[in-house]
Structure 1
C-alpha cells in the first residue's frame, strides 16, 4: 500500500501504524506520531491505515 511518511511516498507492507513503525525500524523507539494531521498516542497505534494516508513520525531532540 502506498502511504506518505514525513512527506515521502513509500510502499508499505504493514496495515497498521504499529506495523509500519516496526517495518521502518522504530519498534520501541520513543516517537510522536500523527496520521492525516491527527495525533495518535502510542496506546492507539493499532489503527488501520488506508492507501494514501499521511503519517508523520517525530523523534524527540535534546539541546538548547
Structure 2
C-alpha cells in the first residue's frame, strides 16, 4: 500500500504506526506523529493501522539545554 511520510511517497505492508516507526529504526517515545494533519496521541500508536493514502509527518524531539 502507498502512504506519504514527511512528504515522500513510500510503499509499505499494512502496519500499525508503532510497527512502522520501529521498522524505520525510530524510537516511538522520541517522536511526535501527525496522521492526516491530526496529532496522533502516543497511546494510539500501537492500535492505529495505517491505511492506503495516509499521510504521516514524523517530528523528532531534540534535547538540549540553555546556553550561557
TM-score (norm 2): 0.80
CA RMSD of aligned residues (A): 1.7
Segments of 5+ residues of structure 1 without an aligned counterpart are: none
TM-score (norm 1): 0.84
- Return the index of the structure with the highest Cα Rg: 2
List structure 1 segments (4+ residues) > 4 angstroms apart after TM superposition. Answer: none
How much does 1:61 deviate? 2.5
Aligned length: 64
